[in-house]
């Protein structure tokens, strides 16, 4: 569907920005359950959001397929069959395409259209929204479903524009792929993305040079084809599994271990880590109760992973560079991998420590560090994102009295429950900063937010209310809770983490997600609603 010409603004109940998991489900709820007039505006040519753009080699979800999916339709979860333990990007795209088809969502999505501004008009209690291609909308509710990791961060390295080869950011990957055959490839970045991409690029390229600034912990994913018997078991027990994911700290269907890493004997601890290493995946960090809260407990996990990497990597100097950790395990989002450390045993792969000898510039023929020059044909930036606030602040959002969100958040994001900002009535941010979002299995966090927003709109309809806006007091109270939740963990101790905004020069350093756990957060949100939406002010 194309947008309405500039002369005629489209008047709607709600506009949703983004057609990823969040936008699709929010559209379904508002249009099909509440009967509202709704349009989604999506910058991509298809649905998928973050997954639409992140097509880099090796792109795969780190959550397991059977629960990295929507739970709202039992028919859908019974019919859909995942092919692997962890879904690859193309399979997630097929899944979201069938969601869009099944619920006939595309007819209310405007593709290839980017929202540039959204301004709240107090007298009308309406948001006026404009898109890059001249679309205009006047809507009661503005719902951002822009994703947390959708604004690419390409470091401003001197000389970048002069590079004679090709450069790519993993989050803006060409749809027809990149041919690495016979090429000397430089990969900058060793977060979850770089760790997934390196083994796959290494197989295709003539030579891969990985430029590592901060060594990263990683645990084997242990991906395997889906076992049909396991999938049958899952489908037979989906209701229970979904309930479990909703009741846990990180939205995964497993519980964090009850024992402290420090209360068991060294032999028992080793055996438990060995077992978790064999199982693989993100649940490694749940082996003990206090890995994320107690530095000494965390050190045992860190030492174990270090010993594993040293066993895998044959060259001791390379192993040393890969394990010279500067932060507690899982204080940054812990990657999981398929043959990442094994990749450094290949003859065509080398590791460059750019913390010891930083990059000086990019030259027409490669990358120059303080230690030497590396000749390259292709540079891949796996350098992450202007996370959480970036996608929101790219849009010129102005609330009451023309106050810009960019100014309101000049010192870091502030909101109530990660859902609403004081001064921005009728605007909701799905999985925004201040909510568990990126610390949780995303579809669980998304469904909780979408359901809560949908219920709030039903409440307004039932009570003849036209405007909902969090109070300044509630917002400030929540900011205190977000900070306290982070301070109770080791998470803020990773000083270069994107959770803190520390990966983007000049960005205010504030711990952005709510670290108190999804289960607790859900209880707080439910209690707020049960008390008549405490902390929100309504107007007729």
State both tokens at 93: 């795209």
26 to 55: interface string for ligand NAP, x by CB under 6 A: ------------------------------
Of 296, 496, 520, 534, the residue at the interface with ligand NAP (CB under 6 A) is: 496
> Applying CB under 6 A, does 147 fall inside the site for ligand NAP?
no
CB 216 within 8 A of CB 399: no
- The answer to the question of residue 333 lying near ligand NAP (CB under 6 A) is yes
Q: How far is the CB of 146 from ligand NAP (least distance, A)?
A: 15
**Pick 476 or 496: Cβ nearer ligand NAP:** 496
Which residue in this structure is represented by tokens 């601890």?
Answer: 269
CB atoms within 10 A of CB 450: 27
SS (H, E, C) 116-165: EEEEEECCCCEEEEEECCCCEEEEEEEEECCCCCCCECCCCCCCHHHCCC
Position 194 contacts ligand NAP (CB under 6 A)? yes
Residue 219, strand partner residues: 336
Query: Which residue in 438, 475, 485, 512 binds ligand NAP (CB under 6 A)?
Result: 438
Instruction: Please name which of 57, 79, 378, 77 lies closest in space to residue 209, comparing C-alpha atoms.
Output: 378
Nearest to 464 by CA among 540, 410, 388: 540
Rule CB under 6 A: say whether 189 interacts with ligand NAP: yes
Closest C-alpha to 444, from 55, 68, 135, 13: 68
Q: What residues contact 371, with CB distance under 8 A and at least 6 apart?
A: 352, 356, 357
Total of chain residues touching ligand NAP, rule CB under 6 A: 25
Nearer to ligand NAP, 146 or 149 (CB): 149
Provide the minimum distance between the beta carbon of 349 and ligand NAP in the complex, in angstroms, as a whole number.
17
Please identify, using beta-carbon distances, which residue of 172 and 274 lies nearer to ligand NAP.
172
525 binds ligand NAP (CB under 6 A): no
Least CB distance from residue 179 to ligand NAP, whole Å? 22
Contacts of 101 (CB under 8 A, 6+ apart): none
Map the footprint of ligand NAP across residues 499-518, applying CB under 6 A.
503
* 199 contributes a contact to ligand NAP by CB under 6 A: no
Select the span of 24-32, 104-112, 220-228, 496-504 touching ligand NAP (CB under 6 A): 496-504
**Least Å from the CB of residue 462 to ligand NAP:** 38
Report, in Å, the least distance between residue 181 CB and ligand NAP. 24
Residue 501 in tokens:
């905004």
In the beta sheet, which residues pair with residue 427? 142
For residues 305-324, which are near ligand NAP according to CB under 6 A? none
220: left (phi over 0), alpha (psi -120 to 50) or beta: beta
Please select the residue that binds ligand NAP; options are 382, 397, 456, 457, rule is CB under 6 A: 382
Instruction: Dig out the tokens for 249 from the structure.
Output: 């700290």
Is 327 a binding residue for ligand NAP by CB under 6 A? The answer is no
Give whichever of 154 and 524 is closer to ligand NAP, judged by the CB atom: 154
- 3-class SS of residue 381: strand
Q: How far apart are CA 211 and CA 205, in angstroms?
A: 16
Closest among 476, 510, 519, 518 to 492, alpha carbons compared: 510
Q: Are 22 and 145 spatial neighbours (Cβ–Cβ below 8 Å)?
A: yes
CA distance 118 to 399: 8
Q: Which stretch binds ligand NAP (CB under 6 A): 14-22, 39-47, 182-190, 411-419?
A: 182-190
Contact between 367 and ligand NAP by CB under 6 A: the answer reads: no
Q: Are 397 and 117 in contact (CB under 8 A)?
A: yes
**What are the φ and ψ backbone dihedral angles of 369, each rounded to 5 degrees?**
-110, 175
Residue showing the smallest CB distance to ligand NAP in the complex: 191
In the three-class reduction of DSSP (H, G, I as helix; E, B as strand; rest coil), residue 188 is classed as strand
* Site membership for ligand NAP, residue 446 (CB under 6 A): no
Nearer to ligand NAP, 42 or 62 (CB): 62
Question: Given the rule CB under 6 A, which of 77-85, 185-193, 262-270, 460-468 is the region that contacts ligand NAP?
Answer: 185-193
Q: Does 61 bind ligand NAP (CB under 6 A)?
A: yes
Distance CA 283, CA 53 (A): 27
- DSSP class per residue in 494-526: -TT-GGGTTTSTT------S--S-HHHHHHHHH
Based on the shown chain and the rule CB under 6 A, indicate whether residue 193 belongs to the binding site for ligand NAP: yes
Token pair recorded at residue 3: 């947008």
In whole angstroms, the minimum distance from the beta carbon of 402 to ligand NAP comes to: 33
Q: Cβ 503 to ligand NAP, closest distance in Å?
A: 5
Nearer to ligand NAP, 192 or 249 (CB): 192
* Least gap, CB of 20 to ligand NAP (angstroms): 13
Using CB under 6 A as the binding rule, whether residue 413 contacts ligand NAP is answered as: no
Residue 435 binding ligand NAP, by CB under 6 A: no
Rounded to a whole number of angstroms, the CA Rg of the chain reads: 23
- Measured from the CB atom, is 334 or 399 closer to ligand NAP? 334
Specify the residue, 15 or 494, whose C-beta has the smaller distance to ligand NAP.
Answer: 494
Kindly state the smallest distance separating residue 145's Cβ from ligand NAP, in Å: 17
CA-closest candidate to residue 202, choices 70, 72, 339:
339
Q: Which residue from 213, 269, 308, 522 is in contact with ligand NAP, where contact means CB under 6 A?
A: 213
Phi-psi region of 58 (alpha: psi -120 to 50; beta: other; left: phi over 0): left
Residues lying near ligand NAP in the complex (CB under 6 A) are found at 60-62, 149, 155, 188-194, 196, 213-214, 333, 354, 382-385, 438, 496, 498, 503
């Amino acid at each position: 569907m194309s947008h309405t010409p500039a002369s005629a603004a489209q008047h709607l109940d709600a506009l949703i920005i983004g057609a990823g998991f969040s936008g699709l489900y929010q559209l379904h709820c508002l249009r099909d359950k509440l009967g509202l007039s709704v349009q989604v505006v999506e910058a991509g040519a298809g649905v998928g959001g973050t997954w639409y753009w992140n097509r880099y080699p090796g792109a795969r979800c780190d959550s397991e397929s059977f629960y990295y999916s929507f739970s709202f339709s039992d028919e859908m979860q019974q019919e859909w069959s995942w092919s692997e333990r962890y879904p690859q990007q193309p399979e997630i795209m097929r899944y979201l395409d069938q969601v869009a088809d099944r619920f006939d969502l595309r007819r209310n999505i405007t593709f290839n259209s980017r929202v540039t501004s959204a301004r709240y008009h107090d007298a009308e209690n309406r948001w006026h929204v404009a898109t890059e291609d001249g679309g205009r909308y006047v809507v009661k509710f503005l719902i951002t479903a822009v994703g947390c990791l959708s604004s690419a961060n390409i470091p401003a390295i001197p000389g970048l524009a002069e590079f004679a080869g090709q450069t790519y950011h993993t989050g803006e990957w060409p749809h027809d792929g990149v041919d690495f055959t016979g090429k000397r490839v430089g990969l900058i970045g060793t977060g979850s993305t770089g760790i997934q991409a390196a083994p796959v690029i290494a197989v295709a390229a003539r030579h891969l040079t990985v430029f590592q600034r901060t060594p990263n912990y990683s645990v084997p994913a242990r991906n395997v084809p889906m076992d049909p018997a396991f999938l049958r078991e899952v489908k037979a027990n989906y209701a229970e599994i979904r309930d479990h994911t909703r009741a846990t700290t990180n939205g995964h269907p497993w519980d964090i271990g009850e024992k402290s890493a420090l209360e068991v004997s060294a032999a028992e601890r080793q055996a438990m880590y060995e077992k978790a290493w064999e199982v693989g995946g993100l649940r490694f960090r749940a082996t003990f109760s206090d890995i994320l809260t107690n530095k000494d407990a965390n050190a045992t996990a860190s030492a174990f992973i270090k010993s594993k990497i040293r066993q895998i990597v044959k060259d001791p100097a390379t192993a040393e560079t890969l394990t010279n950790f500067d932060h507690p395990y899982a204080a940054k989002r812990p990657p999981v991998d398929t043959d990442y450390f094994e990749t450094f045993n290949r003859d065509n792969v080398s590791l460059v420590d750019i913390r010891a000898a930083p990059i000086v510039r990019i030259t027409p023929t490669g990358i120059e560090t303080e230690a030497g020059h590396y000749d390259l044909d292709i540079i891949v930036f796996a350098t992450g994102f202007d996370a959480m606030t970036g996608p929101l602040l790219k849009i010129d959002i102005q609330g009451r009295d023309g106050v810009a969100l960019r100014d309101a958040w000049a010192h870091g994001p502030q909101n109530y429950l990660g859902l609403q900002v004081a001064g921005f009535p009728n605007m909701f941010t799905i999985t925004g900063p201040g909510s568990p979002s990126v610390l949780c299995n995303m579809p669980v966090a998304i469904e909780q937010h979408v359901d809560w927003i949908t219920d709030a709109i039903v409440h307004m309809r039932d009570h003849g209310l036209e405007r909902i806006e969090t109070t300044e007091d509630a917002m400030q109270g929540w900011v205190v809770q977000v900070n306290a939740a982070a301070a109770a963990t080791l998470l803020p101790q990773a000083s270069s983490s994107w959770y803190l905004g520390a990966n983007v020069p000049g960005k205010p350093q504030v711990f952005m997600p709510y670290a108190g756990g999804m289960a607790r957060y859900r209880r707080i949100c439910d209690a707020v609603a049960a008390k008549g939406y405490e902390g929100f002010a309504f107007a007729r």
